[in-house]
Each structure stands twice: as structure tokens, then as C-alpha cells.
Amino acid sequence: MRQRGQFLLRESFFLLTVLAMVSGAGVSAQTVNKGTMSIKRGTVVSSNFDLNNTETGKLLNDGDLYLYAHFNNDGEVTFSQGDEGNTRFVGKNGVQDISGSQISNLNNVLFENPNHQNAFHLSGDISISGVSRFVDGVVLSDGNGGLVLFERGSTYEGASDASHVDGYVEKRGDEDFDYPVGDGGFFRFAGISAPSDSDVEFHTKYFFEDPDGSYPREQKEEGLELIDDAEYWELFLENGNDNDDVRLTLSWRDVTTPAFILGVTSDIVVAKWDEGESLWTNLGGDVDGNSQTVTTPDPLEDDGIFTLAVMSANMTNMSISKTSFEASVYEGDVFEYEIRVQNNGGVDASNVVIVDNLPNGVEYESMEVESAFGLLEWDMEAMGQVLTWSVPLFRAGDEMIIKLRVTAGNAGPITNYAEVGSSEEDGDPSDNAATDENNINAFFIPNVITPNDDGDNDLFEIRGLNRFTSNRIVILNRWNDEVLDVENYQNDWNASGLIAGTYFYILEVTEPSGEEKEFKGWIQVIKE
């Protein structure tokens, strides 16, 4: 096998050299493939001359292909399924053209050409699979018409100012992805969260230029103070569903992003050009100062033109969250909701109103209020299922924590909606409302307990017993002897001092309506 591998290696070099000599004809050497050329696994092929795969040519690369000059594909370029094949653009003598009328399907691509900043001029389309590396040289498709497509599951390494794609990059698949795009010699990535459609395709391009000529910066909705005047991104859905739950991430850098943006990074948001309204709109933003990125808090409703923006300085940024902690709730249980209200902006909010719409399946019992600063003043009013808190002054950076105790009613789903607002305009209204969903489970009497002090199923716990106004339980052993007879049972029987075996219960209850009911059954006590 070793001799066979060495033969294939020599044969590959020989074929390319002969074709180069024949096609050179005293003008310029060129490697031409008109038939089928297969580079097998473990085989290294190097083309020092221009490689031209013609209309009738098929190039199957499962080995290592080194390209030191131009590459053109008018036929078929592909690889076997899996991680086989490496294509290495490693120019020796200046700019390399990557061209062709047909898309080239490449695996594990390397871009490493130190001879020119824009070392690769891409006028053809290339599809990239596997893990690719950007080392040296920008892939310039802007103005040349080429496209770089990253296939499903593909990744890359090393993108930087020295090596990235200046032009359109497309990504296919349902993975999150940072596009290795840039312009003017600067790497300026944008990213998307994972789409829900495995066949979706988004393409992106970064523009290191003022958007004002096509998208006037002065045309902006209220709340946006300043629009980035040095850069913007395109993000368009090429294929797939319109609604793919995609969130957009934009990056900033001191070498491209204006100082008025960098000076207030906490107020950075993503702005989108609304084509129908002809103005910039505020999509809000979750800022990550460590990675120098801002991400839309909600999925995009549409593709288009995006850039960075700063919210108005006199705007608040109120947010609200609500949770029942995914508690397991049964009929009659008393459980807790927690509402957290925050002023995340740098401006105090006045006349703040918090409204909580309790679902019909619960009844308000009591509440507690805490604040981070301990200075919060508030009034609360309850009208039926609607609870309202009024806060005259909610200081910037303060947090209000409301703990609501409620009683569960009849079994069924419960949805709780809460919202917050103030007199001032909110810089990010996307988080001014919150919803919690839970379920009230029906009355349930277990028939097995395992009182071994492991904290799991140690007690005979009748779930939903609190829904009744009164109760009495009698527990009998197999010989019909009473081992428990108690009114207003507290779910605390664990068969202490009794042997394992089968016991029988009689539960008498009184409904809130006054109706009396009786439940009978058995309990299996398992002791180890």
C-alpha cells in the first residue's frame, strides 16, 4: 500500500506537469482538465500554474490540492462526503483569481497568500464545507461578483484584518454563525442565532461607508439619537421561511466605529432601515462589552439594512420579568409569583406604572415589595384580577422586586401577563412586558409512599387538599384497625412506627360550596 500511495503521488504531479507544458505553448503555462481528475485520499497535488477545469472537466478532490496560481472552474469541482479533501490557496506570485461559471464545492479551504492585501479576487462562486482557515490575504468578491457560501455544519478559524471576505458571504443551515466579513481592510463580523429551518440561507455584507447616501441618517424614529455614520451591514434571507427566530448580532471596533458610538456603549442598539416608512427604527439591543457586540433582544421580523445607533440621552429603559419558578401547582395550593422591574437606563423614570393581570384561575392573597436602593415609594391598588403599582420616582439603576402570594383555583392552564411604563419614552420597549405560563393540576391522592427520609415521596401527600374548606382522614391497617384519625390533615403522615404493607384511607371533605364528598382508597407503604 505504501508503494501504491507513492505511485499515485508521482502520477498526479506528472499529469499536471505534462498538461501545463502542452497548454503553455510559449505564452503562459496553464494546467487544463477536460476529463475526470480524481485526487485520492492521502495524495498531494500541487499546481504551480493556472488551473482551469473546463466545461467537460470533473475534479474530485479527496486529497490535498495546493493552488499557487489562478483557479477557474467551468465544470464540476467536488469532494466525497465526509471530511475528505483540502483545498489550499497559497499563492506565490501575487494576486490569485478564483473564477468560473460553475460553483466550486470545496472542503477544508485554506487562504494563505501574503503577497497582497486583497490576495484573492473572487469572481466565481465557491461553496465551503468542513473547517476552513483564514491566515493571510483578503478574499475580495466586492466588485468582482463572486460569492462565498458556507454549507450546513461548516466552520472557520482565524478571520482577522489580514484575512476575511470583502463581499457577500452566505450561510446555509440551522446553526448560529458569525460571518467573516469586512471592508477596507477591516474585519467587521455580524452574526445570527440558529435559524429554525435547516435549509435556510442568509447572506451578509459589511460596508465601511456612511449609509446616509442611500439611507438618510436624519430620518429616524423618536428615541434614536444618532445613527452610525461610518458603517452598515446587509442581511438578507436568500432561501427559507420568513420567520426563523433569528436574532442579529453586530460588532463594533475603535478603528471603524465612530467615537460618539464608542463613548456610550451601554446605550448602543441595533437600528434597521424600514423601507416602507423610509426611516431608521430601533430594534433594541443586548450589549456585551467584553465581546464588543450588541444583539437584538427579539427575533428579526424582516431582513434588510442594519447598523449601530445610540438611544436618546433623556430616555429611560424600563424592563420587567415575571416567573412562578415553574412550580408544580395543584388545586388549592398557595404559590408565589415574582415580578422584577428594573430601570436599566441612565435617566430616572417618573410616574412608573406596573400592571399585573392575574389569570382567572388564581386568587390574590398578599404581597411583599423590596428595592435595590431601599428608597422606593409606591402605592398599590387591586381591582379584581388587575393589580396596579404606582411609583412616582424610579431611579436609574434601581430594581423593584414584587413577591405575590396567590391561591390556585380549578385545574387548567394559567397565563399571567405583566407590563411596565413611565412618563418618559423607553429606549427599548421590547422588554416592557412579560408573560408567565404554568398549569394548575387536578386534585390527586397517591397510593404509594416510600418513607426512607430521602426527601422523595416520604409522606402521604394529597395534592390539592387545600381546595377544600375542611377535611377529615381515617387510615386503617389490613385488620381494619385505625392507625390515624385526624381533622384538617396536614399531609404529614409517613407511617412512622408501622410496618410496610397495604393501608386503607377514608377521606371526607367539604367543598367551598358546602357540598360534602368522600374518597376511599388504598396506600402501599414501602420500607427498606
- Give the predicted TM-score (pTM) of the model: 0.64
303 and 325 co-located in one domain: no
Q: Answer whether residue 167 is part of any domain.
A: no
349 and 265 co-located in one domain: no
| CA–CA distances in Å: residue 221 to residues 3, 227, 265, 425, 452 | 72, 11, 20, 12, 64
What's the confidence (pLDDT) of residue 314?
Answer: 74
What's the confidence (pLDDT) of residue 242?
Answer: 64
Task: Give per-residue pLDDT as tens, 393-448.
Answer: 999 999 999 999 999 999 999 999 999 999 988 878 889 999 999 999 999 999 99
Instruction: Give the domain-ending residue among 135, 161, 183.
Output: 135
Q: Answer whether residue 383 is part of any domain.
A: yes
394 and 293 co-located in one domain: no
Low-confidence ranges of the chain (pLDDT < 50): 1-27
Which CATH number does the domain housing residue 502 bear? 2.60.40.1220
Q: What is the DSSP letter of 196?
A: S
What's the confidence (pLDDT) of residue 28?
Answer: 56
418 and 478 co-located in one domain: no
Q: Answer whether residue 159 is part of any domain.
A: no
What's the confidence (pLDDT) of residue 84?
Answer: 81
426 and 483 co-located in one domain: no
458 and 433 co-located in one domain: no
Q: How far apart are CA 191 and CA 486, in angstroms?
A: 64
Boundaries of domain holding 464: 448-525
343 and 397 co-located in one domain: yes
64 and 130 co-located in one domain: yes
Split into its structural domains, the chain has a count of: 4
C-alpha 50: how far from chain center: 43
296 and 333 co-located in one domain: no
What's the confidence (pLDDT) of residue 7?
Answer: 27
End-to-end CA distance of the chain: 64
Q: CB-based contacts of 17: which residues, under 8 Å, 6+ apart?
A: none
| CA–CA distances in Å: residue 243 to residues 169, 200, 444, 461, 467 | 21, 10, 41, 46, 43
Q: Answer whether residue 264 is part of any domain.
A: yes
Which CATH number does the domain housing residue 405 bear? 2.60.40.740
Instruction: Give the domain-ending residue among 313, 338, 353.
Output: 313
Q: Answer whether residue 253 is part of any domain.
A: yes
465 and 510 co-located in one domain: yes
Q: Answer whether residue 180 is part of any domain.
A: no
Task: Give per-residue pLDDT as tens, 15-50.
Answer: 444 344 433 344 457 899 999 999 999 999 999 999
224 and 300 co-located in one domain: yes
Kindly report the CA angle at 308 between 305 and 314, in degrees rounded to 5? 125
Cβ 157 vs Cβ 133: under 8 Å: yes
- Sign of the four-CA dihedral 323, 326, 327, 329: positive
Q: Answer whether residue 141 is part of any domain.
A: no
Q: Answer whether residue 280 is part of any domain.
A: yes
421 and 405 co-located in one domain: yes
Q: How far apart are CA 97 and CA 338, in angstroms?
A: 61
Instruction: Give the domain-ending residue among 313, 343, 377.
Output: 313
